[in-house]
Amino acid sequence: MKGTSVKWGLFLLAAIILASVVSSFTAAAEATKFGEYSADDFTYESRCRQCHAIIYGQWEGTMHFNAYLDPFYLEEVKVASIDTDGLVDEFCARCHTPIGVVSGEIPPIDGSGMSDISKLGVQCDFCHVISGSDGIGNAPFIITPGDIKWGPFEDSKSAYHDSEYLKLYTQAEYCGMCHEVIHPVNGLVIDDTYSTWKDSQYGKDNVVCQDCHMTEGITEYKANPGRSGSGAPKREHISLHAITGGNAFIPMIFGAEDVAKMATERLQNAATLEVRAPEVASAGEEVIIEVSITNSGAGHNIPTGVSEIRQIWLEMVVTDAEGHEIYSAGTLDTEGSIKSAKRIYNNVLGDSEGTATESFWLADRVLEDNRIGPEKTVEEKHTFILSEDVVYPLKVETSLNYRSASQELIDKLFEKGTYEVPVIQMNEASNTIYHPDASPKEGTEPTPGFSTFTATIALILRMYINRK
Ligand code: HEC
Ligand code: HEC
Ligand code: HEC
Ligand code: HEC
Ligand code: HEC
């Protein structure tokens, strides 16, 4: 522990020197200084709710609402603070309790100095007093708390507050202030959601975060006509504040089932699965099943964000007609650990010794990056030998799974048995393998992934064998 602190001290010194060199070359508007305001400068969301009740209902229970009270965050930040001797306290809190930081209530990291409003995470008034930005990543927001609420409308009028239009609200750069996390000491990019989006076709076509995350389109913009509050005019589009990603775990802990459902639906729109299994196979033969997974719906990697903690993997179970398991990969053991998956689709960070770590505050390098890029496809190959005593036909069940964290990590942070991390099925496929002599049942549809070429070859082969 001592060694870590010394190293951090040196790093920090270097970072301060670097930061002062960099800032002397940049002339952009400066980000808000932490501790510059007081919690009293912000308005409780209950006030906004009086007129914007629908928007309030959408935001309630989301990860922005939970950003500070999230028990997973609170446990991790405790560990991070101990590991770094408190050096990351203010850093971590910037995005998870922005009011807590700009009002100087954090540090201390234990939350003992916090007002109630700071605990509301990323809330209405904070998001709508953002009056500018000083760039991307690590929370460079510029805020002007007070009567003016900034937003996407050029002609908005309210009896309660002044309104000001700011283009930033309709741009990915707004989200990119917090959805890009750079290690404050060594510069390692820990969360690259904004930059991956920017480099993708979505970024080039300007399909912004808001199009997918603040409309019902999920994977594209979909207009949502309506009124944004009582007394407001009818507009062609009002954005949704049920901003969800893939996290159903934390919303369920808070009883926000609607949010968990939306997260599940989003995950089910993120990827397509194509499974190529032979239609027939003989005993003693090596069966090869190939799978393609395509990130078809997300404007960034899947997973993204704290992707070193998230897990996406393929589960495949092959059973014979009597239900005997012939092959399996990616199932869970009794402890909730993933057994023999071909690959976990996430990234693996390493500390200064090159040891893999999920504690991203200790990371200074990327050891492995297995995330699936936007519009990219990855392949997996599963093989097994058929034994003589199998009972045909065989069933191949394939499932693409997601969970917010490994059960092991959650069991390490909380008392075992406290939380079970839900496994969410993103997509699935089912294939049947027949005996070479048997012809598939009438009307059996080949699964979407089955290549007609393989099917034709199999058919010709079967006709040939049958004739002999
Ligand atoms: C994460 C930051 C964030 C939070 C939290 C947030 N908003 Fe917004 N809000 C936005 C953005 C961004 C837009 C513009 C979206 C667009 O036009 O694509 C917006 C738009 C609006 C609008 C204009 C109408 C509309 O829906 O487009 C109103 C009114 C509004 N928000 C009120 C609220 C209220 C009330 C809350 C709390 C219940 C809230 N916002 C919470 C970021 C936020
Ligand atoms: C007395 C009712 C009332 C209260 C309270 C209220 N608003 Fe509004 N707000 C409105 C109306 C009406 C509009 C106009 C909507 C339109 O033009 O479509 C509006 C517009 C907005 C806009 C859009 C501004 C723009 O130019 O795009 C934002 C953002 C917003 N409100 C945020 C908030 C926040 C945050 C709170 C709480 C701190 C809040 N409002 C409290 C009535 C209210
Ligand atoms: C002030 C910082 C801040 C801004 C601005 C912000 N976010 Fe977030 N967002 C967060 C934090 C912090 C979390 C995670 C909270 C947690 O996991 O405990 C989060 C969570 C999310 C999630 C849920 C992720 C999941 O795993 O389910 C989505 C989706 C999201 N944000 C999208 C957006 C979009 C889109 C915008 C822009 C309109 C935006 N955010 C603007 C800080 C911010
Ligand atoms: C083309 C639609 C699309 C665009 C554009 C898009 N997203 Fe997403 N996003 C998704 C889908 C679908 C998922 C669910 C897959 C997942 O969770 O990995 C998702 C998941 C997320 C998550 C949860 C990540 C995880 O794996 O736990 C966050 C955070 C997020 N998006 C933020 C953003 C931000 C910030 C932007 C803009 C820079 C953005 N998204 C742009 C569709 C989109
Ligand atoms: C620049 C903004 C920012 C900073 C700084 C930041 N985070 Fe986050 N954090 C986020 C966002 C955005 C997400 C959501 C990403 C996603 O859903 O994958 C998140 C998610 C998390 C999660 C996952 C929560 C869950 O329920 O799945 C943990 C844990 C976490 N952060 C801890 C920390 C710690 C510890 C630090 C400091 C070392 C830190 N964060 C610093 C923005 C930030």
pLDDT at 42 over 80: yes
pLDDT above 50: residue 465: no
For the chain, what's the residue count?
468
For 360-385, how does the pLDDT look when each residue is reduced to its tens digit (9 = 90+)? 999 999 999 999 999 999 999 999 99
Among residues 45, 140, 63, 131, the alpha carbon closest in space to that of 98 is found at 140
Rounded mean pLDDT of 44-71? 97
Distance CA 1, CA 10 (A): 15
Poorest-pLDDT segment among 9-18, 145-154, 212-221, 322-331: 9-18
Query: Can you give the three-state secondary structure of 193-236, one letter per residue?
Result: HHHHHHHCHHHHCCCCHHHHHCCCCCCCCCCCCECCCCCCCCEC
Q: Is 95 in the pocket of ligand 1 (CB under 6 A)?
A: no
User: Per-residue pLDDT for 5 more than 50?
Assistant: no
Per-residue pLDDT, 438: 80
pLDDT at 34: 92
- Ligand nearest to C-alpha 155: 2
In this predicted structure, what is the pLDDT of residue 30?
86
| Residue 247 CB less than 6 A away from ligand 3 | yes
All structural domains of the chain: 28-262 (no CATH), 269-467 (2.60.40.10)
Residue nearest atom 35 of ligand 2, based on CA coordinates = 125
Q: DSSP string covering 245-260, please? A: -S--HHHHHTT-HHHH
* Mean pLDDT for all residues in the chain: 90
Residue nearest to atom 34 of ligand 4 (CA): 209
71: amino acid identity, one letter: P
Q: What is the pLDDT of residues 82-129, one digit of tens each?
A: 999 999 999 999 999 999 999 999 999 999 999 999 999 999 999 999
Q: Quote the distance between the C-alpha of residue 229 and its chain's center.
A: 30
Closest ligand 4 atom, residue 198 Cα = 38
Q: Are 93 and 181 in contact (CB under 8 A)?
A: no
DSSP helix/strand/coil, 332 = strand
- pLDDT category at 23 given cuts 50, 70, 90 is very low
Going from the Cα of 445 to the center of ligand 5, the distance in angstroms, rounded, reads 45
Token pair in block for residue 315: 């589960």
- Model pLDDT, residue 439: 62
CA distance 411 to 336: 10
Determine the distance separating the centroid of ligand 3 and the alpha carbon of 302, expressed in angstroms: 15
| Tens digits of residue pLDDT in 383-442 | 999 999 999 999 999 999 999 999 999 999 999 999 999 999 999 999 999 999 986 554
Number of neighbours of residue 166 by Cβ within 10 angstroms: 18
Percent of the chain clearing pLDDT 70 (strictly above): 88
pLDDT of residue 365: 98
Instruction: Please state the rounded mean pLDDT for residues 52-81.
Output: 98
> Could you tell me the sign of the dihedral formed by the alpha carbons of 247, 248, 254, 257, in that order?
positive
d(CA 340, CA 332): 9
Dump pLDDT digits (tens) for 271-321. 999 999 999 999 999 999 999 999 999 999 999 999 999 999 999 999 999
Distance from the CA of 97 to the center of ligand 1, in angstroms?
A: 17
Query: 228 alpha carbon to ligand 5 midpoint, in Å?
Result: 29
Please answer whether residues 195 and 180 qualify as being in contact, where contact means their C-beta atoms are separated by less than 8 angstroms.
Answer: yes
Measured CA to CA, the distance from residue 113 to residue 175 in angstroms comes to 28
At 49, is the secondary structure helix, strand, or coil?
helix
pLDDT at 388: 92
- Tell me: the pLDDT tens digits for 207-252? 999 999 999 999 999 999 999 999 999 999 999 999 999 999 999 9
Tokens for 203, please give them.
Answer: 């970024």
